[in-house]
């Protein structure tokens, strides 16, 4: 047998392993002793992808099912799985899928591990958003407060020194990236070294509000970037023991999330928009929280009215700015740090809302199909929403009805 035939034969055996259901007999893809201190990108590659259509119990609070038995077309989905396993879709590290409240499918690739928290870039913004929704549910702030100037939350700021127009900025503006806050390109307080000031807490906030450009009504348009750190400042002052304790006690502990890392920003508070790490299963818990209208174990964690706003298409984003995009992805929108779009399958479209992070962290929810998809990856050149529309949704819908 020549080398080409051997390679084809090995590939055939690997595909057969995935399709045959033998994947459940593999060892779980767990971080080994001595690997837990490695930076994520230095993790060794898995020898082969871990793929299961019947996820195993991990005593983590997730309900489990089986793809192709409880829901979903196994053969349709596994066409995508084989492409991901052989790096034909990009550098994925995990893909998990749940429907009707049950985790049906779980897979890990390359550097992905079941118990390894994955770095989160802008996907972390929705965790900050949901923390605010928790504060509203507990009565620390109200839905009406979303439209109040953020200055009303802070009693120790010197308002006489602030940039013009700061009083225009509300929580709603911050959450929809319409604050009007921006800094000149060479402004030192926005540089990495400039952020290492001695300013902590509200002193950091005072410094920011003094040194930014004037805020005008015309300038309060969607501009992705600044906002989450200011929301975290509000959480710090309205909650009894500060933002870090509040997030841990009122969200992470209740969701039974223990294996995580939430770094502090230079101002001493938890990061508002990035530098968070969660396992893929714990990302699925956040998706379940959204799916359950803010409830977890029958306890209302996130204010339902807030969550409806947060996950809605409050803003329409021009197609030229569509995030990753794809031919079947249209009408992109933005809520309270949640992205949204219509995904086309056949002659129908399905609205989805999602957390999205650079490099490819996704928590996507398609309410009409009661479907949650979690991706992790380290590849910015993949059209993730297009993959959902083209390769995943067809496994969970009746395509014939879509063509009528």
Going along the chain from its start, the domains and CATH numbers come out as 3-116+278-402 (3.40.710), 124-258+265-272 (3.40.710.10)
Question: Token digits for 147?
Answer: 């439209």
Q: Please tell me the distance from the alpha carbon of residue 393 to that of residue 294, in angstroms, as a whole number.
A: 24
Using CA atoms, how far residue 343 sits from 167, 332, 366, 397, 402, in Å, is 39, 10, 9, 13, 13
Residue 339 is predicted with a pLDDT of: 96
Residue 274 is predicted with a pLDDT of: 95
Closest CA to 269 of 119, 156, 128, 158: 128
Closest CA to 120 of 336, 381, 323, 360: 360
Those residues of the chain that have pLDDT short of 50 are 1, 5-22, 24-25, 186-190, 192-193, 196, 400, 403-404
3-state secondary structure of 151: helix
Strands (E), 208-335: 261-262, 276-278, 295-296, 299-300, 315-316, 329-334
Residue 200 is predicted with a pLDDT of: 82
Residue 150 is predicted with a pLDDT of: 95
Long-range contacts at 208-212 (CB < 8 A, ≥ 24 apart): 208/181, 209/157, 209/162, 209/163, 209/166, 210/161, 210/162, 210/163, 211/163, 211/183, 211/187, 212/163, 212/181, 212/182, 212/183
Q: Please tell me the distance from the alpha carbon of residue 132 to that of residue 43, in angstroms, as a whole number.
A: 34
DSSP β-ladder status, 329-334 and 339-345: antiparallel
Report the number of secondary-structure helices (H) and strands (E) in the chain.
Answer: 11, 14
- pTM: predicted TM-score of the whole model, two decimal places: 0.90
Residue 323 is predicted with a pLDDT of: 67
């Amino acid at each position: 047998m020549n080398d080409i035939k051997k390679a084809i034969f090995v590939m055939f055996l690997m595909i057969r392993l995935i399709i045959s259901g033998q994947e459940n007999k593999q060892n779980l893809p767990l971080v080994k002793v001595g690997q837990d201190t490695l930076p994520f990108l230095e993790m060794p590659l898995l020898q082969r992808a871990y793929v299961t259509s019947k996820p195993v119990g991990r005593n983590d609070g997730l309900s489990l099912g089986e793809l192709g038995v409880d829901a979903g077309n196994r053969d349709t989905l596994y066409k995508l799985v084989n492409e991901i396993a052989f790096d034909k879709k990009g550098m994925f590290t995990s893909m998990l899928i749940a429907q009707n409240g049950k985790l049906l499918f779980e897979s890990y690739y390359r550097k992905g591990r079941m118990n390894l928290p994955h770095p989160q870039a802008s996907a972390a913004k929705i965790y900050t958003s949901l923390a605010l929704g928790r504060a509203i549910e507990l009565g620390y702030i109200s839905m009406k407060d979303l439209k109040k100037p953020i200055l009303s939350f802070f009693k120790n700021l010197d308002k006489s020194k602030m940039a013009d127009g700061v009083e225009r900025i509300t929580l709603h503006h911050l959450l929809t990236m319409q604050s009007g806050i921006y800094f000149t390109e060479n402004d030192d307080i926005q540089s990495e070294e400039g952020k290492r000031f001695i300013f902590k807490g509200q002193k950091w906030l005072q410094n920011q509000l003094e040194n930014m450009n004037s805020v005008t009504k015309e300038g309060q348009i969607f501009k992705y970037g600044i906002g989450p750190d200011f929301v975290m400042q509000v959480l710090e002052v309205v909650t009894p023991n500060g933002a870090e304790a509040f997030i841990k006690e009122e969200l992470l502990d209740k969701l039974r999330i223990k294996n995580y890392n939430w770094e502090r920003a230079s101002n001493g508070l938890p990061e508002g928009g990035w530098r968070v790490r969660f396992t893929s299963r714990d990302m699925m818990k956040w998706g379940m929280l959204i799916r359950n209208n803010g409830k977890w174990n029958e306890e209302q964690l996130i204010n339902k009215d807030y969550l409806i706003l947060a996950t809605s298409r409050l803003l329409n984003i021009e197609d030229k700015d569509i995030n990753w995009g794809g031919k079947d992805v249209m009408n992109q929108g933005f809520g309270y740090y949640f992205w949204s779009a219509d995904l086309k399958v056949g002659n129908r479209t399905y609205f989805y809302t999602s957390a999205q992070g650079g490099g490819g962290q996704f928590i996507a929810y398609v309410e009409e199909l009661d479907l949650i998809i979690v991706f992790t990856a380290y590849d910015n050149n993949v059209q993730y929403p297009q993959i959902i529309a083209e390769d995943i949704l067809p496994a969970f819908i009746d395509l014939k009805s879509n063509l009528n």
